[in-house]
A and B are shown apart, each in its own frame.
Chain A
Amino acid sequence: MTIQNKAEIIDAILARHRDKPTRLMQILRETQEELGWLSKKTLSMIARGTRQPLARVEGVASFYSFFHTEPLGRYCVLWSDNITDRMLGSVELMREMCKKLWLEPGRVSEDGLVSVSSTSCTGMCDQGPAILVNYRAIPHMSSERVGQTVDLIRSETPVSKWPAELFSISDNIRRRDILLGNISRPGDALRAAIARGAQPTLDEIKLSNLRGRGGAGFSTGLKWETCRNAEGSGADPEHYVICNADEGEPGTFKDRVLLTAQADLVFEGMTVAAYILGARLGMLYLRGEYRYLLDHLESVLARRRKDKQLGHGILDHAGFDFDIEIHFGAGAYICGEESALIESLEGKRGVPRNRPPFPVTQGYLGQPTIVNNVETLASAALITMKGGEWFREIGTEKSAGSKILSVSGDCTRPGIYEYPFGVRVAEVLADCGAAAENTQAVQISGPSGVCIASDEFKRKIGFEDLATAGAFMVFNNKRDMFLVARNFSHFFAHESCGFCTPCRVGTTLLKNCMDKIEAGHGSEYDINEIFKINHLLQAASHCGLGHTACNPMFDTLQKFRPAYQRRLNSLAFEPAFDLDKALSQARQMTGRDDADAHLKNTMEVKA
């Protein structure tokens, strides 16, 4: 490609986004889709176009895992690295793929054709192991599919021409309740809202006791009321509605299915919120892993515009103007935190803000903003149609309505299960085909949630007992719970934004500690270190990521301590340094891995 071509491509993308610095994420993504990767020259052109310093653009591009500031292969293969993928054999399959391609993981092949590495959970846990090829999702990886994809890569077949069945993603809806069983027509909730009026509709939401489905459980009615009462400021006072579809918690994939099966209900919820707040713009922040949903979602939005459910004068109601844009994330779990998500929408690094002020008073561009989970907004649309009284009767006293669970791991029927709140873990296990006597643990709400053991299976899903954003990962008796926690420690170290000292350094120290124990160099000392770092993270971290980053280790140490103890080398102290391991580079350079290339006593210890 000539430099001129390149400049033309970038100019066209910049023009499409009106050179706005707030559109930087989308500009970077589209440029990378065209040019393959983001060179310094490319970033420089984008910086000039959006009139901001190059270093700031570079800072943004290097923050997100899916932006590449180093040359990338023409095919970029990323293996989802959630524990559920690993349990389905992802590590072995990735090794097989690398072997077939003569590749080292994480390196681009000499001919610039392909790179293979891993990424955080891609939200396909019910159909793993999953990969992304040039950011398009392929589920159900097997030895056969590895062979097939390797052939397609070797023959340099464009990904757009790959067999469609490779990209076929299933919804796997196993149990429907009020949300997934919804059969209302698009526009029904809007008509109900307009007939009732803004304040009475808000009153219904408050009456319903709807609480946020992202895990925190804040009252939706209260959030909307505070935002409605907050004044916009400056030359351009506005209110904004944001739908958080950055479903990054490992083991969670319910928003993907809601957006596939009930997209209208979600958009309807956003539009009802806009009606109540007087917002004119809504944004759906969709995780980059769900790029394949874009065509479907855009077509739903286009139909809704045509049917006057979006745009100027919605349903002929003068002054009710609202539209929805889709923004993509780019591989950063932290952007699921609402203020980090807003920073990202503004074209910045996804770093959580200091609060107060909260987004409801000063959010997107400093204006009053609500950020709600996909499932919360869909529930709000149902409440608008059927009333708050109807909704609060479902579920339990403190947890009204239903909860969609993303079930994966050791069960015969993984997939999506919607229950009224208050369902017991044991009932979900029975439904998904996980025999209680063979199940040792369930990870509720992902790594940042809680790991429960078999004596807790009578506990209930709900804010009063097991609050959850939806992940439900099942582990049978044969699973090594230490390896589960170790996988999660790598996840948090990879996803820490790096803003505050305790989380930035602490998550890496925890990861190293877990690796040290796995390598057989652990001692009781290291277990104490984990507890010490946990105390610090709980007390001093800037946001929820740091507060919860030690949960997996803490829970498994409390409940599955033998999984750690059988790995401990001594009860005193063991150094992490391993002389034999230190020679591994020399072995690699000389192409040797025979017994004589290892230090004798280390071999004896291992044998």
Chain B
Amino acid sequence: MSATPDTVTTPTFQLDGEEIPFQPGQTIIQAALAAGKYIPHLCFHPEFKPHGSCKLCLVKISGRPAASCTTVAQAGLSVESEIPEVQDKRRTLVQMLLVEGNHFCPSCEKSGNCMLQALGYELGVMSPHFPQIFPVRPVDASHKEILLDFNRCILCELCVRASNEVDQKNVFALAGRGISKHLIVNSESGRLADTNFSATDKAAQVCPVGVILPKRVGFAIPIGKRKFDLKPISDPGASAGCAEHAEGGA
């Protein structure tokens, strides 16, 4: 008997007690987001290969911690996500990102559309907790259409990947090591104006925080009425499993 799509049993795993169907090869976060179940994430983007660096998508699989973006789904797995132990660790990770960069939400054009800020709200981050590191990261305002404010960079590499894989321009790369790791621009001067970067590039659309901002568009939607001001990031209507929503308000 030939199997029709209706009779084929799609394999499933359990996420916080709920059955999540998956296609073979999908990672846990891919299957969860496709099924409308939110798992926090920053460096993951549905259009790109899982990266596994921010670790916000940490879950417990059969009692062991793992990054859900890089762990391939298997039938019968028991995945715990919204449990206090995991949420605590995610909260600490957000706090680490907050002290690593210079994040001043009230004056940031991305406020309300920023995934880091939204995750802070989602996870109940009331303070940065750790002593601020205060890195020195000058802004690059050289480009006529785009402002780069490196102070807010969380090193998710989405712009690096977008510029490389989609735009095929390699405008961005990472330099340095450890806490000195930072985003750089591909030109001898180090300035964005001296690259072939354009505001229509994919790389200009994917930043989950407020590093890559279009110029001359400011506060078009008032703070308080922006994406995550209206709905939390975990709401299927707000995230829909996509990082791209984050720049919608600009």
Q: Quick one: given A54-B186, A493-B178, are A509 and B173 in contact (CB under 8 Å)?
A: no
Which stretch from B2-10, B88-96, B103-111 is at the chain A interface?
B88-96
Pick from B58, B176, B181: contact of A540, CB under 8 Å = B58
Pick from B54, B93, B97, B174: contact of A59, CB under 8 Å = B174
B178 touches A56 (CB 8 A): no
Known: A58-B184, A497-B177, A505-B100. 13 other contacts (CB 8 A): A54-B186, A55-B171, A63-B176, A63-B177, A498-B155, A498-B177, A501-B93, A501-B154, A504-B178, A505-B96, A509-B131, A536-B93, A539-B58
List residues of A (514-554) whose CB comes within 8 Å of B's CBs: 532-533, 535-536, 539-542
* A509 cross-chain contacts in B, Cβ below 8 A: 96, 99, 130-131
Query: CA A101 – CA B171 in complex, angstroms?
Result: 43
A41 touches B173 (CB 8 A): no
Q: Is A598 an interface residue (CB 8 A)?
A: no
Q: Is A269 an interface residue (CB 8 A)?
A: no
Q: Is A588 an interface residue (CB 8 A)?
A: no
* B92 cross-chain contacts in A, Cβ below 8 A: 532-533, 536
Q: Is B217 an interface residue (CB 8 A)?
A: no
Tier of interface size on chain A? 35 or more
Q: Quick one: given A55-B184, A62-B175, A501-B96, are A512 and B65 in contact (CB under 8 Å)?
A: no
> 8 tightest CB-CB pairs across the interface, nearest first?
A55-B173, A498-B181, A55-B186, A505-B96, A539-B65, A53-B170, A496-B178, A62-B175
Q: Is B53 an interface residue (CB 8 A)?
A: yes
* B179 cross-chain contacts in A, Cβ below 8 A: 493, 496, 498, 504-505, 507-508
- B contact residues, total (Cβ < 8 Å): 40
Q: Is B77 an interface residue (CB 8 A)?
A: no
**At the interface, is chain A mostly helix, strand, loop or mixed?**
helix
* A508 cross-chain contacts in B, Cβ below 8 A: 133, 178-179
Q: Which of A41, A55, A65, A539 has the most CB of B within 10 A?
A: A55
Min CB–CB distance A586 → chain B (angstroms): 19
* B55 cross-chain contacts in A, Cβ below 8 A: 500-502, 540-542
Min CB–CB distance A500 → chain B (angstroms): 5
Contact string, B50-90, partner A, CB cutoff 8 A, digits 1/0?
10111110100000010100100000000000000000010
List residues of A (51-81) whose CB comes within 8 Å of B's CBs: 53-56, 58-59, 62-65
Pick from B131, B176, B187: contact of A54, CB under 8 Å = B187
A497 touches B178 (CB 8 A): yes
Query: CA A552 – CA B2 in complex, angstroms?
Result: 60
Closest to B195 in A: A55
Show the binding face of A for B, using Cβ within 8 Å.
40-41, 44, 53-56, 58-59, 62-65, 332, 349, 354, 493-502, 504-509, 512, 532-533, 535-536, 539-542, 576
29 A-B pairs with C-beta separation under 8 A: A44-B188, A53-B173, A55-B170, A55-B175, A55-B187, A56-B173, A56-B186, A59-B173, A62-B177, A65-B177, A354-B50, A493-B179, A497-B177, A497-B178, A498-B179, A500-B53, A500-B54, A501-B53, A501-B55, A504-B100, A504-B178, A505-B133, A507-B179, A509-B99, A535-B89, A540-B89, A541-B55, A542-B53, A576-B131
B70 touches A501 (CB 8 A): no
Q: Which of A58, A505, A532, A541 has the most CB of B within 10 A?
A: A505
Q: Quick one: given A55-B185, A536-B92, A539-B89, are A501 and B174 in contact (CB under 8 Å)?
A: no
Min CB–CB distance B97 → chain A (angstroms): 6
Q: Is B180 an interface residue (CB 8 A)?
A: yes
A499 touches B100 (CB 8 A): no
Query: CA A508 – CA B228 in complex, angstroms?
Result: 31
* B173 cross-chain contacts in A, Cβ below 8 A: 53, 55-56, 58-59
B185 touches A506 (CB 8 A): no
Min CB–CB distance B144 → chain A (angstroms): 20
Q: Quick one: given A500-B53, A512-B131, A540-B93, are A58 and B181 in contact (CB under 8 Å)?
A: no
* A500 cross-chain contacts in B, Cβ below 8 A: 52-55
* B100 cross-chain contacts in A, Cβ below 8 A: 504-505
B178 touches A507 (CB 8 A): yes
* A496 cross-chain contacts in B, Cβ below 8 A: 177-179
Show the binding face of B for A, using Cβ within 8 Å.
50, 52-56, 58, 65, 67, 70, 89, 92-93, 96-97, 99-100, 130-131, 133, 154-155, 170-181, 184-188, 190
* B172 cross-chain contacts in A, Cβ below 8 A: 55
Closest to A62 in B: B175
* A532 cross-chain contacts in B, Cβ below 8 A: 92
Query: CA A63 – CA B186 in complex, angstroms?
Result: 16
* B130 cross-chain contacts in A, Cβ below 8 A: 509
Pick from B52, B56, B176, B190: contact of A498, CB under 8 Å = B176
* B180 cross-chain contacts in A, Cβ below 8 A: 498
B53 touches A62 (CB 8 A): no
* A539 cross-chain contacts in B, Cβ below 8 A: 58, 65, 89
* B174 cross-chain contacts in A, Cβ below 8 A: 59, 349
Query: CA A493 – CA B179 in complex, angstroms?
Result: 8
* B177 cross-chain contacts in A, Cβ below 8 A: 62-65, 332, 349, 496-498
B188 touches A354 (CB 8 A): no
* A354 cross-chain contacts in B, Cβ below 8 A: 50, 52, 70
Query: CA A536 – CA B184 in complex, angstroms?
Result: 29
Q: Which of B55, B56, B131, B180 has the most CB of A within 10 A?
A: B55
Min CB–CB distance B208 → chain A (angstroms): 13
* A63 cross-chain contacts in B, Cβ below 8 A: 175-177
* A62 cross-chain contacts in B, Cβ below 8 A: 175-177
B93 touches A502 (CB 8 A): yes
Query: CA A379 – CA B187 in complex, angstroms?
Result: 49
Min CB–CB distance B27 → chain A (angstroms): 10
Closest to B133 in A: A508
A504 touches B170 (CB 8 A): no
Query: CA A509 – CA B92 in complex, angstroms?
Result: 12
A53 touches B89 (CB 8 A): no
Closest to A511 in B: B179
* A541 cross-chain contacts in B, Cβ below 8 A: 55
Closest to A57 in B: B173
* A55 cross-chain contacts in B, Cβ below 8 A: 170-173, 175, 184-187
Min CB–CB distance A124 → chain B (angstroms): 23
Query: CA A55 – CA B176 in complex, angstroms?
Result: 11
Min CB–CB distance A67 → chain B (angstroms): 11
Closest to B99 in A: A505
Query: CA A508 – CA B96 in complex, angstroms?
Result: 10
